[in-house]
Structure 1
Amino acid sequence: MSYEFALRPAPSEVVRRDWRLPLVAAGVWAAALAGLYGTVASGIVIAAGCLVLVVLGRRWKRGFPAAVATVAFGGLLSAGVTTVHVAVRDHAGLAALTGSEAHGVAELVLHTAPKPSTRRPELVTATARLRSFDADGVVLEGHWQVLLVASGEEWLEVNAGQRLTVPAVLREPDAGRLTAAIVSARGPPETVGALSFPHRIAAHVRERLAIAVGAVPQPEAGLIPALAVGDTSMMDPELAADFRTTGLVHLVVVSGYHLSLVVGAVLAVALACRAGPRGRVAAGSVAIAAIVVVAGPQPSVLRAAVMAGMTLLALAAGRPRAAMPGLATAVLVVVLADPDMAAQAGFALSVAACVGLLFLAFRWARPLEHRGWPQPVALAVTIPLATQVAVTPLLIGLGSGVSLVSVPVNVLAALVAAPVVVLSVGAAAVAAVWLPAGAFAAQLAAVPARWLIWLARNGAEIPGALVPVPGGVWWGLGSAAAMAVLVLLLQMRRVRVPVLAVLVAAGLGTVPACLMTGGPPSGWVVTMCDVGQGDALVLPAGDAVVVVDVGPEPAAVDACLDELEVDRIALLVLSHFHIDHTAGIAGAMEGRAVDAILAPPPGEAQYGYELVEERAGAVPVLEAVPGEVFEFGATRLEVLGPPAEPLSGTRSDPNNNSVAVRAEVAGTSVLLTGDVELEGQRALLSGGAALGVDVLKVPHHGSSFQVREFLEAADPAVALVGVGAGNEYGHPDPGPLGVLEEGGALVFRTDEAGRITVVRNGNVFEVTTVN
């Protein structure tokens, strides 16, 4: 007797991946991004074009034309929604006020809690809704999305959801967003009414957690709120920079990782309590809502919340989870609800990391599992690698650099990542109800948090940990193509081993380059470090160096000094106390001896002064006196400014009272001017000092506040401009640069050239750049 059985097909032969929803999501995202950079008219054109493709696509059922029609359907939806938002953004009345930088009283409702700006920590920023603006009795009312920029500690006490009024100036926003204006506050806020119930809960949780971590020493106390609810306001700025350098920043931004851990824990408890599907869905939904309310509407939070919601719906329907449709739905829903998300880097990085996880991490883990690796161990290796591959093109496109230590650091961080996040979230939840228990939970969370801190600090100190790479759209697209080719090659068994061998060899080959930085070249005169929107310059001083300003971030100036092999600073000159010249002081002093600091009186820039005073410790701080001379080997510095009687009543007194020095380095003259503007430059002209030099550090990042006679008197052969790419100030202005070029100067900018070093060989100047 014989029996015949029909073999069950493999799952891959039964279930075909449906790409329609991801294609619709791609169309939604692309059309929203295009619409944000356009006008109402261009939005209508995009919608009309998508409609034509959709109509034509009805004839096609499959293949490339059908895929195009599916993308166009998403574009049609998004173009319509985005055009409506753009029409509100481009309101003629508001545009007139921002164009004239109108002064008045703004009534706002905060969407996010004010927090220190990453570029300028003395300022706080928040997204808000502008309800009305009263300019000299003329009131304009509406509902516009705006960016609030303010200063003062009182702003850090204001919570998300608060309605307030504040004297302010309206300024034009950057293009490509739904932000209709920048509201620059000119005073403290005056709150109106009480917070809504959800916002009161969020404020209560954050406040109680801040109290609970008081029982924990720093820097763990600042890290726990970041791990729990994404609140980085208490986190040490230097540690935050180390987390970015080592690729651990995703742990301090509430994302899908946090939601999966928290919702998973809640569902496990519900299952242990024998809750049915509806009960588990209800418990998971409450957990998701609580995280969104407390963490705020961050891009990664919203994307993860929608994905988690789709998973719970699938659970309630009794259907298996489909991760890719869930991700596509998250993109579709979030972008249609708020088209501005399409232009946010955080949202794009979050989605890219999920794509890497879904498409690559589990597939790469299978060969390791077949070789006997436990699945958690295999995934601990492949998840960081896959997400790094997915986000690298975006990081390159954004000009953020590529971390060479991200994968190994994240593999080691996986040992404690889940426990420390769960304990931190638990500390926040428990502290909201019972403070002593919350403090105990925070102390428990501090134990594994120390491992993350050790990893971040030591990983960031590895030479070459963060590789600066050229940024921009084309570099991003090129790197994406290269990554795609690499992934395809790794899928081919015949070439997999040779490709891996080449990658390993290339990786080992970078080790000597990272460990051997080489130091400054022979004949070195001055180096301008690339620190973004700020200044940091280094001059030789015998067996040490003179550093003039330290930029806005510790990591950038620290890396530059490492590459120059600096271990002692004979004199640290701080031209003035604005953050873009002082906030990097921790990086400059990290592991280096500093003999003395030269600085002007603090004036109005108290925040930067307090930052320097706290970090300086026992290092003597000298006050700059005109005519004073410092000599270090073949380098001589003469102080030219500020005047003995500080300038007052100018557009910016701290800028105009900058320390200006003339340096002579082995016969080469260098004029370092800080941020002196019109009045400060005229004071230098009238002071009778010798201003003609070989190298000029262009004042105030090349802003428009320049005196032509001053630039002509300097008459440099080389002009250096410290400026950040795409900065919001419009620096440098083409006018002053044109004056310098007319005089025969070669102008170099850090946003275009990166780190700039001037070398003199005989009578010839050589300028080298490292981008």
Structure 2
Amino acid sequence: MTDRSGAVAEESTARPLDLRLVPAALGVWGATLLGLYCGWGTAVALSCCGVATAGAGLVLVRRRWAAGMVMCSVLVATVSFGVAVRLWPVENHPLREPTSRGESLRVRVELTERPTPTNGAGAHGALGERAVLRARLTAVRQNRRWHPTSGAVLLLVPAESWSGLLRGQRVTTTGAALPPSGAGLLVVVLAVHQPPEDVTRPPPAQRFAERLRDGLRTASESVLSPRAEGLLPGLVVGDTSGLLDTVRRDFGKAGLTHLTAVSGANLAIVCGAVLLLFRAVRAPPVLAACAAGVALAGFVVLAGGEPSVLRAAVMGALGLLALVLGRNKTTLPALAGCVILLVSWRPELAVSAGFALSVAATAALVLLAPPWSEWLRRRGIPFRLAQALVAPAAAQLATAPLVVALSGEFSLVGILANLLVEPVIAPATVLGFAATLLTPWAAPLGELLVLGAAPELEWVLFVARCAVRVPLATLPLPSGMVGASLGVMLVLTVLLLLWFRGGRVLLGGSLLAVLLLVATIGVRPGGWPVAEWSVVACDVGQGDSLVLATGTSGSAVVVDTGPSAALVDGCLDRLGIRRVPLLVLTHPHADHFAGLAGVLVGREVNTVATGVTTPSRWADTGIERRTREGGARLVRLSAGQRMRWPELAIEVLAPPEGSGSEPPAERVNDASVVLRARTPVGRVLLTGDIELSGQRRLLSSGARLDAEVLKVPHHGSRYTSVEFLRAVSPRLALISVGHDNDHGHPSTEIIETLRGLGASVRRTDRRGDIAVLEGRTGMRTASTGDPFRPGD
């Protein structure tokens, strides 16, 4: 039996690839890209060229390759003409003129996808989290009248008030018009800052699908850990609304992000499970195929029906076809046909990174995985194990140029991480899908199924967590076209080395050398974190997050969390912080509190503190709910309060108790909590984002402001008075600021003033995490920006 199966495998491998549709797919994709980037005129020119080329092919009809050229040319001409027809009304849309002037537009739209939360602070420090969604214009209000219109629109909306909307609902809203960036068919981008109006009921199918998704979310929250409860909906139906930023960060660095995106693999697992079930009961093949088709259609509705889901449905159907027929070679023309159909139907998929990654991964599984697995099988590796080994390697190698172009880094642990989690993905997906179907009607049974998926989810989370802790887990590379070019060169080099026996030996030796280098760096003494640090300014981009050591191992007070949970979580991980007795959020701007989950999840947090003058503004941020879910208590701080730990004492200088009414939105910065801390390196003044008014109030309060270390107010904004800086008279000024930010922070004048007062200035955008510690001759700093030099 083994010999026969091996003969079949060798015969299958020897069969030549069917490449007839590949040139047509590449031509259609390339022509669509050129049309979207260069405009409708270019698309018309490409269509004319396609017609001329098809005519030339008809003249040369006797040549063997002429038929293929004619077919390819006809497809390119047809698709290019279709792109031109779609682009012309977009480029000449009546809303383009008001958009160029940045006017405010009132529109009626129909949602074409669900809102997707975004990371980071809102525009201009807006309160709360933001979400993005796509919609179709139905009407615009101009000159006090509603005018029918059409076109695709992208909405940037408040996540809290828009999160419950579903595909197919119609809403009315007002937003600031922004011109679309990049290629595509968008008419306008609208920045919206208020809840939706005149919301209609969603279609019945979407209401039913949302009931199922909500049941899975509820069951996951009931029985899973905080890190796992958002993972299961993402793994099953691509619902990442509850996925923690820390998990996103870990998955990104470990090369596991694809697990939380609906892909052909999800659909192949579900449909494959349905097929196996029907085969187990000896159902006729036609009935089993129909059941798998129903499961496929139901999954599309359940996952939302967005273009990415529809693309995954086609890819999943291809995977299912290969599974049923056991003929991988027939998948290549089907993949090419899929590209032609999808790009013709939705031209915007041509510029979709998800679509390109999916096609590249599928092509790798078709072209690279079979010969690699056969090579391993001939050397005694069992067939199933060989497939499991080569699938993640082939997919990651094929997608490497795109990943590098998008993220500017390449995961060196991705193949191993995917190999380790691969065995548990299918059972977790099947259990989660079954729980999704059962929970709305039998909640205990659904929770039992979710509980059955818990070990698999925890294993995936454990692998991701371990992977990101490996030294040099990711290789930093340039992003964009430069990174893509380097990625292509890397892939071609690896493939060339694999082709020759000597090359395979050289590649193996190189990998061994890299592993030895990683091990050497991992045990290198004197790395980060430096010993006996007292204060650390975490590099969280355009935001604030300061860490104060309490004198107890693994314990620290944290002041602000920055805009990203992943960044603050990474900083605290590097410092080894497991317990946070006090987390202070200075004021309700997202660049100071949006990373809250990065501190709460996976650590023991006792108390979360905010200022007394902005309770109503905090109510719009969800901080109270998230604090309660994290097991911490919420308190208010006011001037005069004091707190003490073994090596840390904190005094609250602002805001004052009973300071009156709530400040207006533009004065929230001046309501920041201001702290003065005593540490082993001296006094530290933490100022939040106070500006001129808040600084004058502190100066007139009579409080002592002198400090050896100053966290410069508002990321080094120019709205800082010289009188205030002189009153503090710091030896060291820490500026927490994002690289190339849009606000002009920090001000050159403020930096020169600080240096004129004798202060050393350290910036997180240039030095990374900055630690303040005692040196032989007094206070010194160390940073992650130069890990081989502990001092400055």
1:728 maps to none
- One-letter amino acid of the counterpart of residue 483, structure 1: V
Q: Deviations over 1:286-312 (max 9, x none)?
A: 222211111123555323322345678
Aligned mates of 2:43, 2:764 — CA distance in 1: 36
Which residue of 179, 182, 189 corresponds with 2:186?
179
- One-letter amino acid of the counterpart of residue 26, structure 1: L
Q: How does 1:103-122 map to 2 (within 5 A)?
A: 103=104, 105-119=106-120, 122=129
Q: How does 1:517-556 map to 2 (within 5 A)?
A: 518-520=527-529, 528-532=537-541, 534-538=543-547, 547-556=558-567
Contact 2:248/2:566 (CA < 8 Å) preserved in 1?
Answer: no
Name the SS of the counterpart of 2:114 in structure 1.
coil
* Residues 1:557 and 2:568 are matched in the alignment: yes
2:148 maps to 141
Which residue of 367, 370, 373 corresponds with 2:375?
367
Aligned mates of 1:578, 1:735 — CA distance in 2: 16
Residues 93 and 503 of structure 1: is their aligned pair in 2 closer, same or farther, counting only changes over 3 Å?
Answer: same
Aligned mates of 1:404, 1:529 — CA distance in 2: 25
Q: Deviations over 1:594-629 (max 9, x none)?
A: 787664244413325326633775578561538989
Q: How does 1:426-465 map to 2 (within 5 A)?
A: 426-431=434-439, 437-446=445-454, 448-460=456-468, 465=473
Shift of 1:417: 1.6
Name which of structure 1's ranges 542-551 and 103-112 shifts more when overlaid on structure 2.
Answer: 542-551
Shift of 1:500: 0.8
Shift of 1:502: 1.9
1:422 maps to 430
1:93 maps to 94
Aligned mates of 1:593, 1:315 — CA distance in 2: 47
Aligned mates of 2:25, 2:695 — CA distance in 1: 55
1:263 maps to 271
Contact 1:20/1:70 (CA < 8 Å) preserved in 2?
Answer: no
Shift of 1:503: 0.2
Q: How does 1:571-610 map to 2 (within 5 A)?
A: 572-588=583-599, 599-601=610-612, 602-603=614-615, 604-606=617-619, 607=621, 609-610=623-624
Aligned mates of 2:688, 2:454 — CA distance in 1: 42
Name which of structure 1's ranges 472-481 and 591-600 shifts more when overlaid on structure 2.
Answer: 591-600
2:421 maps to 413
Contact 2:654/2:672 (CA < 8 Å) preserved in 1?
Answer: no
Residues 587 and 622 of structure 1: is their aligned pair in 2 closer, same or farther, counting only changes over 3 Å?
Answer: same
Aligned mates of 1:564, 1:435 — CA distance in 2: 42
Q: Deviations over 1:113-159 (max 9, x none)?
A: 23433445733432222222325624343222223333365533332
Name the SS of the counterpart of 1:106 in structure 2.
strand
Q: Deviations over 1:691-741 (max 9, x none)?
A: 999977573697xxx54877997999988463378xxxxx42459756668
* Residues 1:189 and 2:196 are matched in the alignment: yes
- One-letter amino acid of the counterpart of residue 247, structure 1: G
2:24 maps to 24
> Once the two structures are aligned, what percentage of the paired residues are identical?
33
Aligned mates of 1:331, 1:712 — CA distance in 2: 63
* Residues 1:293 and 2:308 are matched in the alignment: no
Q: Deviations over 1:56-109 (max 9, x none)?
A: 888999999999999887765554444444444445532344445544643221
Tell me the TM-score normalised to structure 2 length: 0.78
* Residues 1:164 and 2:175 are matched in the alignment: no
Name which of structure 1's ranges 741-750 and 439-448 shifts more when overlaid on structure 2.
Answer: 741-750
Residues 631 and 444 of structure 1: is their aligned pair in 2 closer, same or farther, counting only changes over 3 Å?
Answer: closer
Point out where structure 2 has 5 or more consecutive residues left out of the alignment: 1-7, 122-127, 788-792
Shift of 1:423: 1.9
Name which of structure 1's ranges 685-694 and 469-478 shifts more when overlaid on structure 2.
Answer: 685-694
Residues 110 and 493 of structure 1: is their aligned pair in 2 closer, same or farther, counting only changes over 3 Å?
Answer: same
Aligned mates of 2:386, 2:609 — CA distance in 1: 54
Residues 69 and 630 of structure 1: is their aligned pair in 2 closer, same or farther, counting only changes over 3 Å?
Answer: farther
Contact 1:35/1:42 (CA < 8 Å) preserved in 2?
Answer: yes
Name which of structure 1's ranges 753-762 and 140-149 shifts more when overlaid on structure 2.
Answer: 753-762
2:138 maps to 131
* Residues 1:723 and 2:738 are matched in the alignment: yes
Contact 2:715/2:746 (CA < 8 Å) preserved in 1?
Answer: no
- One-letter amino acid of the counterpart of residue 586, structure 2: S
Residues 362 and 583 of structure 1: is their aligned pair in 2 closer, same or farther, counting only changes over 3 Å?
Answer: farther
1:699 maps to 714
Shift of 1:404: 4.2
Aligned mates of 2:386, 2:192 — CA distance in 1: 51
Name which of structure 1's ranges 347-356 and 171-180 shifts more when overlaid on structure 2.
Answer: 171-180
Residues 571 and 280 of structure 1: is their aligned pair in 2 closer, same or farther, counting only changes over 3 Å?
Answer: closer
Name the SS of the counterpart of 1:132 in structure 2.
strand
1:497 maps to 505
Aligned mates of 1:64, 1:548 — CA distance in 2: 69
Tell me the TM-score normalised to structure 1 length: 0.79
Contact 2:172/2:196 (CA < 8 Å) preserved in 1?
Answer: yes
2:261 maps to 253
Aligned mates of 1:575, 1:14 — CA distance in 2: 67
Shift of 1:425: 1.5
Residues 318 and 387 of structure 1: is their aligned pair in 2 closer, same or farther, counting only changes over 3 Å?
Answer: closer
1:356 maps to 364
Name the SS of the counterpart of 1:149 in structure 2.
strand
Contact 2:245/2:598 (CA < 8 Å) preserved in 1?
Answer: no
Name which of structure 1's ranges 708-717 and 46-55 shifts more when overlaid on structure 2.
Answer: 708-717
Shift of 1:342: 2.9
* Residues 1:623 and 2:637 are matched in the alignment: yes
- One-letter amino acid of the counterpart of residue 162, structure 1: Q
Shift of 1:365: 2.1
Name the SS of the counterpart of 2:95 in structure 1.
helix
Aligned mates of 2:31, 2:723 — CA distance in 1: 47
- One-letter amino acid of the counterpart of residue 488, structure 2: A
Contact 2:120/2:591 (CA < 8 Å) preserved in 1?
Answer: yes
Aligned mates of 1:199, 1:411 — CA distance in 2: 35
Contact 2:637/2:652 (CA < 8 Å) preserved in 1?
Answer: no
- One-letter amino acid of the counterpart of residue 732, structure 1: D
2:671 maps to 657
2:394 maps to 386
Contact 1:129/1:143 (CA < 8 Å) preserved in 2?
Answer: yes
Residues 169 and 313 of structure 1: is their aligned pair in 2 closer, same or farther, counting only changes over 3 Å?
Answer: same
- One-letter amino acid of the counterpart of residue 254, structure 2: T
Name which of structure 1's ranges 111-120 and 749-758 shifts more when overlaid on structure 2.
Answer: 749-758
2:347 maps to 339
Point out where structure 1 has 5 or more consecutive residues left out of the alignment: 1-7, 726-730
Q: How many residues align?
A: 757
Contact 2:369/2:394 (CA < 8 Å) preserved in 1?
Answer: yes
Contact 1:533/1:724 (CA < 8 Å) preserved in 2?
Answer: yes
Residues 549 and 325 of structure 1: is their aligned pair in 2 closer, same or farther, counting only changes over 3 Å?
Answer: farther
Q: Deviations over 1:656-691 (max 9, x none)?
A: 433356889999998765445786678779989979
Name the SS of the counterpart of 2:140 in structure 1.
strand
2:205 maps to 198
Name which of structure 1's ranges 149-158 and 538-547 shifts more when overlaid on structure 2.
Answer: 538-547
Contact 1:635/1:666 (CA < 8 Å) preserved in 2?
Answer: no
Aligned mates of 2:749, 2:68 — CA distance in 1: 54
Aligned mates of 2:706, 2:470 — CA distance in 1: 41
Contact 1:701/1:723 (CA < 8 Å) preserved in 2?
Answer: no
Aligned mates of 2:662, 2:152 — CA distance in 1: 37
Aligned mates of 2:713, 2:96 — CA distance in 1: 33
Q: Deviations over 1:517-570 (max 9, x none)?
A: 712569989765443554334567778766442223333223223434556768
Aligned mates of 2:32, 2:694 — CA distance in 1: 46
Residues 691 and 131 of structure 1: is their aligned pair in 2 closer, same or farther, counting only changes over 3 Å?
Answer: farther
